[in-house]
Amino acid sequence: MTPIPPAGSEGEPQEAHLWEYIYVVLRRRRLVLAIFLGVAALATLRALLTRPVYEASAQILIERDTPNVLTFKEVAQVDAARDDYYQTQYKLLQSRALARRVIESMNLLQDAEYGGPRSPEEIEAVKAAAPGASQLMEGAIDAFLRRLRVLPVRNSRLVTVTYESYRPDMAAAAANRLSQLYIQQTLEFRYQTSSEAAQWLGQQIEEQKTKVEEADRALQKVKEQEGIVNIEERRTLLDQKLKELGTALTTLRTERLEKEALYRQMRGASNPEELPEVMRNPLVQSVRIELASLERAQAQLLERYMDQHPEVVKVRNQIQETRKKIAAESQRVIRAAENDYKAAAAQEASVSSALEAAKEEALDLSRRSVQYDNAKREADAGKEVLNSLLSRHKQTDVAQELKNSNIRIVDGASVPRGPVRPQKTRDIAMGLALGLFLGIGLAFFLDYLDNTIKTPEDVRKQLGAPLLAVIPEIGSPTDVVIKSGAETPLADGYRLLRTSLTYSWPDSSSRILLVTSTSPGEGKTVTSVNLALILASMGGKVLLIDCDLRRPQSHTLLRGKKSPGLSDLLVGKARPSEAIQRPSGTTLSLLAAGTRAPSPADLMTLQTMRDFLEGLRGFYDWIVLDTPPVGPVAEALILGPLTDGVVVVVGAEMVPRNGVRHTLERVKETGARLLGVVLNRAQVEKHSYYYGRYYGHYYGRYYGSPPAQTAPARGKVANIREKRNAR
């Protein structure tokens, strides 16, 4: 149950809250102490009796890449950049095959930790057995792996290999041996892979040699059939010839086109004498100079002579002859251009014919070399593959002999100086802490499960009902009835109850009280008797009526007679003067239960009890009704509305709060006036923190120590105590 903070001052909420939790531990201190001592004792015994275990660790470096000794790639090279590489290595370190090799190499089957010693014949039989076939070897491997731990060092390439043993030298030797055999196994895996690759390459080389020989024979056969000799040189020369002829043909064709265009231009000219080619002719140029001189001479003669003058005619004739020379020379230039054009055309045709002949020769050679080319490709491809296989085979032979690894032992395991467990001081301290934790935890758990009403705070907060008084527990069950003039905590509790009830009625008229509870054993009868006694001590007339016809106890506590009583009055077998008695040593009147009735609820009808109680009201100041519990029977609910108030007795730490809450609701539903709750049998001395605010811490000092129990418990009070002890 969650502790409820005490109703202290507002200035001390944290201190009060802390003490609430401390109280939970103090309240169940015996349980906490028992668990604490038990766990501490077990931890101490375990630390003292456990056989020491030693642990040795070796550290291994696993590089991603193998040291680059060779320039070529190895056959067994692993891609260490993959994420699963290191996980694979961790599993290999914990593999059963590696563990078996360690066991065999260290001869652990003869060691006492593995059930040794054994006979040599048995050891040989186990070693000769196949993996998984020997139960003894499999058990030893399991035992070895249970003691082995592989711990990767975070953010590094280091791995810690840890082994546990009862002997320090064995722990160090096993860790070192496992690391060495792991590196050896890695090299063996690489050697085995290289060996298998070399064997396979050898087979492939022999097969490829045969294929290359067959391809060479096929190539030679094609050469003989087609009559091809030195075909590659012929192809080279022919290709060069085709290239040269093609280049020459292109050049000649260009020249021919240029000359043809010039010739056509000259032949179509209207004045051939004005052609650039004619004008550039040296002869034409000299003739033109001569013509210009003659024309100047003619012009000079015409200035002095007539047109028909012999000198003029002579010069004119010379001019005509000169012009004829120019015309004749122009025609000669045109004919020369025509001849150049025709010569270029003839040369082009000749080169074109030679090119066509070369093409025909190339096509013929190509047709004849088809089979040769196919056979040549097959032979070349086979030789290339063969050379590659031979090269790889040589590389594999070299790599096979290389004893190089990417795994190294960084720190070998050393013999441990002390055991890893048990660490006695630490284990005992942890046992003490665990015992304290379990004890306190169980105390809080049980307190959480405990839903009974224990304190006045529970009454106010959980029930929401007025608290009339707190009646403390007493040491002796024989002193439950208070004595006249007694000065005890029990008597003071009932005086406080009397005061609370007196304040409920300002006037001094006759009052009828009903006392009930939720379940049997909460002390409602004792409360009714003591309440009647304490009310009678004030000098008033008090009548106690025992309405619990099923289990009457009031007459026993007051040493009176059981009958005649209430049941006898209700059935008419006795008169009030005969049934009401005054117990010896008291000033109150008692109406006992009387003869046992078969059906008390039918006997105490509403109208009958109303008339009966109203008839008694005029004779007494206080009438106290001791009724059965509300839970099992209905008498309290029948009588509640007929009284001036109902008092519910709640046994501390006896009844769940939900049951008490249900009782209060049922009482209110009948229309009866609920005066409040009496918290009975409160263990004030045991729970001094809760009750200190009501009684203070002076209880023992003021009243003295409670009397010791001198007689065994008897009767109803003894049953109540037994019930509480059982809870």
Is CATH 3.90.480.10 correct for 456-726? no
Q: How confident is the model at residue 115 (pLDDT cuts 50, 70, 90)?
A: confident
* Partners of residue 488 on adjacent β-strands: none
- Using CA atoms, how far apart are residues 232 and 230, in angstroms rounded to an integer? 6
SS3 401: coil
pLDDT of residue 727: 46
pLDDT of residue 2: 35
Q: What pLDDT, in 10s, does the model give residues 638-684? A: 898 999 999 999 988 888 888 899 999 999 998 999 999 999 988 77
Mean local confidence (pLDDT), 423-436? 89
Percent of the chain with pLDDT over 70: 82
Q: What pLDDT, in 10s, does the model give residues 539-595? A: 889 999 999 888 898 888 888 888 888 888 888 888 888 888 988 888 899 999 888
Q: Which residues contact 600 (CB under 8 A, 6 or more apart)?
A: 549, 550, 567, 628, 633, 635
Residue 364, token pair as written in the block: 């013929």
- Using CA atoms, how far apart are residues 29 and 440, in angstroms rounded to an integer? 9
Residue 70's region, left for phi above 0, alpha for psi from -120 to 50, else beta, is beta
* CB-based contact 629:519 (threshold 8 Å): yes
* CB-based contact 21:471 (threshold 8 Å): no
- Using CA atoms, how far apart are residues 460 and 468, in angstroms rounded to an integer? 11
* CB-based contact 185:92 (threshold 8 Å): yes
Residue 433 has pLDDT above 90, yes or no: yes
Residue type, 586: T
- Using CA atoms, how far apart are residues 724 and 726, in angstroms rounded to an integer? 5
Q: How confident is the model at residue 597 (pLDDT cuts 50, 70, 90)?
A: confident
Strand order in the sheet with 148-152: 148-152, 158-165, 54-62, 407-411
Mean local confidence (pLDDT), 110-124? 86
The DSSP element (H or E) to which 682 belongs, if any, is strand 674-682
The DSSP element (H or E) to which 520 belongs, if any, is none
Q: What pLDDT, in 10s, does the model give residues 262-315? A: 777 777 666 666 666 666 677 777 777 777 777 777 777 777 777 777 877 777
* Partners of residue 158 on adjacent β-strands: 61
SS3 556: helix
Residue 231 has pLDDT above 70, yes or no: no
Q: How confident is the model at residue 720 (pLDDT cuts 50, 70, 90)?
A: very low
Closest CA to 405 of 654, 189, 562, 578: 189
* Partners of residue 11 on adjacent β-strands: none
SS3 283: helix
Mean local confidence (pLDDT), 151-168? 91
- Using CA atoms, how far apart are residues 586 and 481, in angstroms rounded to an integer? 11
Closest CA to 460 of 671, 644, 656, 661: 661
Residue 259 has pLDDT above 50, yes or no: yes
pLDDT of residue 701: 47
- Using CA atoms, how far apart are residues 234 and 372, in angstroms rounded to an integer? 14
Q: What pLDDT, in 10s, does the model give residues 51-84? A: 899 999 999 998 876 554 444 454 444 454 556 8
- Using CA atoms, how far apart are residues 285 and 239, in angstroms rounded to an integer? 50
* CB-based contact 678:527 (threshold 8 Å): yes
Annotated domain spans of the chain: 18-50+422-449, 231-368, 456-726
* CB-based contact 468:676 (threshold 8 Å): yes
Q: What pLDDT, in 10s, does the model give residues 511-533? A: 999 999 998 888 899 999 999 99
pLDDT of residue 268: 67
Q: What is the CA radius of gyration of the chain?
A: 66
Q: What pLDDT, in 10s, does the model give residues 32-49? A: 999 999 999 998 998 888
pTM beyond 0.95: no
Residue 115's region, left for phi above 0, alpha for psi from -120 to 50, else beta, is left
Residue 477 has pLDDT above 80, yes or no: no
Cβ count within 10 A of residue 483: 12
Which residue is it, tokens 């991603």? 64
655-667 CB burial, b ≥16 within 10 A, e <16: bebebbbebbebb
- Using CA atoms, how far apart are residues 245 and 335, in angstroms rounded to an integer? 30
Q: What pLDDT, in 10s, does the model give residues 402-417? A: 556 788 889 999 999 8
SS3 503: helix
Q: How confident is the model at residue 709 (pLDDT cuts 50, 70, 90)?
A: very low
- Using CA atoms, how far apart are residues 554 and 558, in angstroms rounded to an integer? 6
Closest CA to 551 of 509, 600, 585: 600
Cα-based distances in Å from 642 to 48, 512, 670:
73, 8, 10
Residue type, 61: L
* CB-based contact 678:650 (threshold 8 Å): yes
Residue type, 14: Q
Residue 304 φ/ψ, nearest 5 degrees? -105, -30
Which residue is it, tokens 């990767």? 152
Q: What pLDDT, in 10s, does the model give residues 349-408? A: 888 888 888 777 677 667 666 667 677 777 788 778 878 877 777 776 665 565 567 888
Closest CA to 629 of 521, 716, 724: 521
Instruction: Please list the alpha-helical segments (H only) found in 401-488.
Output: 424-449, 456-458
- Using CA atoms, how far apart are residues 57 and 175, in angstroms rounded to an integer? 6
